[in-house]
């Protein structure tokens, strides 16, 4: 799935701005034909969830209707016109000019429709979207009612299986764009290294095969110099004396595919690509033949007022902070990030672990729940669909070094391990990069052996042992050693951390103070950094973020190294000093 990019063959119009919104508590909108236009509606900003724009509906997870009116240029009538949503949480049904386009279930990912048959070019068109956050055991983000690893402590409000706020609505940009009638539909790039040369294998898909056509490919460097050329729908081009992509030197090349029909260019599409090679050898993760030690965070899309809404300024600010503190990896948890964030990661040099929103499944507080009750067949199908959508969308980003297919599921169950292995195998048919899942079951886990890198979320001692550091460090060390001895694979500590309320201090350090958060993180790092098979650590979390109401959270999850406003806590400067030494 190619991102909408404007050039002389393609037009792009972004529909962000003020739309109209109407809440539908009684689910009467379809019967009353709201798809033909909303009456007595209110303004809503796109792209951002409804929850904080309308405080009276902050915890509302029912049906909401959106309406947008837009003129589609007369000059577009000879092209294919597409309507693309970059993220709608969670279930959507779309109409244009009163006629149904289709439905989509699944948040934080793009979907689109060709709309030529339903639009009026040179005139105003009505787009209506019915959205709800009605979660269930079948949706990938489950409803959290009696299930999920928090369930044993009581349901959260509003409920979901994720430990983040269940934001609802059109949360990412909406585009209308055109492509020619015969066009480049998809491009897949795979890069490799041969000595000092870079190798780019490409596969190009057209929507139809032209009678007299061919595809030419051109690779240029940042100065615009042509460094490689080729032709055909598939092939390999070689860049001599290539500059390779990594976090320290994020060199990007431009890969342009041009469709030539009857001697003239009919369509073209340009991708930024970084030439790199990822390998796993013994205890190491190699990028371009060099062992890498990863240091960074997991991060939620979250900010006051806009919630999980798309915000370019926030992405820029966060990447500046990542570079300031010395991080080289980011895991957008627990869902795929915006495509614009990945573009910036490619450009600035931040490794990304891309993750689907499959969180805390196969966990229940009901002892009578059977595995098939916790994870019905529809969930498994939704899981595969989410993986395919993520890989198809993000496969060409240089920054993406691994696919994460799940977070903190109950991998002590055989059924869960079998499920994860099937999703692992399916992911590998789509792309060759490492596949991981985030294990929170310590050495009781039964699934990690199927995966390329062992990823451990380590919180048990935060919630159970408190500040008995001698005991905590020994037990953590023993668990890590047991996991390595079992699987003999490199390990990442994908989550660890403690809540620190900004401005709270105590001596000696106690829970929820910045002092305790700092001590906690540094004590954990003292253990992890001594083990050669642990190839990186990711602090949970980059910044504080909103969660559903629960006694275990003081309004926010406060494990952020930065507060919700992106100002550093005490731990930030300690991490910066520590990571500067590692970089050297």
Tens of pLDDT, residue by residue over 471-491, are: 889 989 999 999 999 999 999
Residue 470, pLDDT score: 86
Is 100 a catalytic site residue?
no
Identify the band that residue 294 occupies on the pLDDT scale cut at 50, 70 and 90.
Answer: very high
CATH class of 281-495+536-542: alpha beta
Please tell me the predicted confidence (pLDDT) of residue 444: 86
Query: Six-digit token pair at 548?
Result: 């559903």
Catalytic residue among 79, 339, 355, 408: 408
Answer yes or no: is pLDDT of 314 > 70: yes
Greater pLDDT, 151 or 553: 553
Question: Catalytic residue at 347?
Answer: no
Lowest-confidence region among 132-146, 188-202, 330-344? 132-146
Q: What is residue 471's predicted lDDT score, i.e. its pLDDT? A: 86
Task: State the pLDDT at residue 341.
Answer: 99
The predicted-structure confidence for 320-371, as pLDDT tens digits, reads as follows 999 999 999 999 989 999 999 999 999 999 999 999 999 999 988 888 889 9
- Indicate the pLDDT class of residue 463, thresholds 50, 70 and 90: low
Q: DSSP label at 188?
A: E
Which residue in 112, 355, 495, 519 is the catalytic one?
A: 495
The residue among 298, 288, 289 whose CA lies nearest residue 318 is 298
pLDDT at 469 exceeding the cut of 70 = yes
DSSP line for 446-466: SSGGGSSSEEEE--HHHHHTT
Whole-angstrom Cα distance, residue 354 to residue 358?
12
Instruction: Find residue 287's DSSP bridge partners.
Output: 278, 290
In terms of Cβ atoms closer than 10 Å to its own Cβ (0-12, 13-18, 19+), residue 102 is exposed
Q: CATH top-level class for 184-278?
A: mainly beta
| pLDDT at residue 277 in the model | 98
Distance between start and end Cα atoms, the chain: 39
Using a pLDDT cut of 90, give the percent of the chain over it. Answer: 89
pLDDT at 115: 98
Q: Which residue has the tokens 């299986």?
A: 161
Q: For the chain, what are the domain ranges?
A: 12-179, 184-278, 281-495+536-542
Whole-number pLDDT of residue 552: 79
Instruction: Give the mean pLDDT of 89-96.
Output: 98
Which pLDDT band, with edges at 50, 70 and 90, does 459 fall under? confident
Nearest to 139 by CA among 170, 108, 171: 108
95 beta partners = 100, 128
The torsion of the CA quartet 15, 19, 23, 28, rounded to 10 degrees, works out to: -70
Average pLDDT of the segment spanning 193-215: 94
Query: Which tens digits make up the pLDDT trace of 258-281?
Result: 999 999 999 999 999 999 999 999
Q: Is pLDDT above 90 for 468?
A: no
Q: What is the pLDDT of residue 333?
A: 83
**What is the pLDDT, as a whole number, of residue 554?**
86
**Order of strands, sheet of 12-14, starting from the edge strand that comes earlier in the sequence:** 12-14, 174-179, 80-85, 111-114
Is the pLDDT at 164 greater than 70, yes or no?
A: yes
Question: What is the residue-averaged pLDDT of the chain?
Answer: 95
Q: Give 552-579 pLDDT, tens digit per residue.
A: 788 999 999 999 999 999 999 999 999 9
Task: Give the mean model confidence (pLDDT) for residues 451-459.
Answer: 95
What pLDDT sits at residue 553? 84
CB contact at 8 A, 196 and 241 = yes
Segment 216-220 mean pLDDT: 99
| d(C-alpha 511, C-alpha 394), whole Å | 39
Q: Which fold has domain 12-179?
A: Jelly Rolls (2.60.120)
| 3-state SS string for 19-64 | EEEEEECCCCCCCCCHHHCCCCCEEEEECCCCCCCCHHHCCCCCEE
For the ranges 24-28, 240-244, 460-464, which has the lowest average pLDDT?
Answer: 460-464
Q: Please, which residues bridge with residue 220 across strands? A: 226, 254
């Amino acid at each position: 799935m190619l991102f909408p990019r404007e050039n002389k063959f393609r037009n792009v119009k972004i529909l962000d701005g003020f739309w109209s919104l109407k809440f539908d508590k009684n689910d009467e909108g379809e019967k009353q034909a709201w798809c033909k236009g909303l009456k007595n509606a209110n303004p809503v900003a796109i792209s951002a969830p409804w929850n904080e724009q309308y405080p009276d509906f902050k915890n509302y997870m029912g049906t909401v209707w959106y309406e947008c009116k837009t003129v589609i240029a007369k000059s577009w009538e000879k092209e294919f016109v597409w309507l693309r949503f970059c993220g709608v949480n969670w279930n959507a049904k779309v109409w244009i000019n009163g006629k149904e386009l289709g439905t989509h279930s699944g948040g934080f990912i793009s979907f689109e429709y060709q709309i030529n048959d339903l639009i009026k070019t040179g005139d105003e068109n009505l787009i209506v979207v019915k959205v709800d956050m009605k979660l269930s055991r079948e949706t990938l983000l489950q409803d959290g009612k009696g299930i999920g690893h928090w369930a044993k402590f009581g349901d959260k409000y509003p409920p979901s299986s994720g430990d983040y706020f269940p934001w609802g609505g059109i949360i990412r940009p909406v585009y209308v764009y055109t492509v020619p009638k015969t066009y480049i539909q998809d491009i897949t790039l795979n890069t490799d290294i041969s000595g000092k040369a870079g190798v780019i294998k490409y596969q190009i898909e057209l929507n139809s095969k032209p009678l007299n056509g061919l595809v030419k490919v051109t690779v240029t460097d940042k100065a615009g110099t042509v460094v490689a050329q080729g032709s055909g729908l598939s092939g390999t081009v070689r860049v001599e004396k290539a500059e390779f992509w990594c976090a320290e030197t994020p060199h990007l090349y431009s890969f342009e595919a041009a469709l030539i029909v009857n001697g003239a260019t009919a369509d073209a599409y340009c991708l930024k690509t970084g030439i790199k090679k990822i390998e796993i050898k013994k205890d190491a993760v190699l990028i371009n033949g060099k062992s890498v030690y990863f240091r960074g965070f997991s991060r939620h899309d979250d900010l006051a007022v806009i919630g999980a809404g798309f915000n370019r300024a926030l992405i820029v600010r966060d990447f500046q902070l990542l570079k300031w503190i010395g991080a080289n990896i980011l895991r957008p948890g627990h869902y795929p990030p915006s495509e614009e964030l990945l573009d910036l990661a490619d450009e600035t040099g931040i490794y990304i672990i891309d993750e689907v929103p499959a969180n805390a499944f196969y966990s229940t507080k009901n002892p009578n729940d059977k595995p098939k009750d916790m994870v019905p067949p529809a969930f498994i199908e939704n899981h595969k669909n989410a993986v395919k959508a993520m890989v198809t969308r993000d496969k060409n980003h240089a920054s993406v070094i691994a696919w994460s297919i799940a977070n903190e599921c109950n991998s002590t169950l055989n059924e869960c391990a079998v499920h994860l292995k099937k999703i692992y195998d399916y992911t590998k048919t789509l792309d060759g990069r490492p596949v991981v899942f985030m294990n929170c079951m310590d050495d009781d886990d039964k699934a990690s052996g199927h995966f390329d890198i062992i990823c451990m979320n380590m919180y048990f001692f935060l919630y159970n042992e408190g500040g008995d550091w001698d005991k905590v460090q020994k037990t953590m060390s023993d668990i890590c050693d047991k996991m390595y001895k079992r699987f003999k694979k490199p390990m990442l500590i994908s989550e660890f951390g403690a809540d620190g309320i900004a401005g709270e201090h105590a001596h000696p350090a106690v829970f929820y103070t910045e002092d305790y958060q700092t001590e906690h993180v540094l004590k954990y790092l003292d253990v992890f950094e001594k083990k050669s098979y642990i190839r990186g650590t990711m602090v949970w979390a980059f910044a504080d973020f909103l969660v559903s109401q629960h006694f275990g959270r003081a309004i926010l999850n406060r494990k952020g190294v930065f507060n919700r406003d992106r100002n550093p806590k005490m731990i930030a400067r300690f991490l910066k000093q520590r990571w500067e030494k590692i970089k050297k």
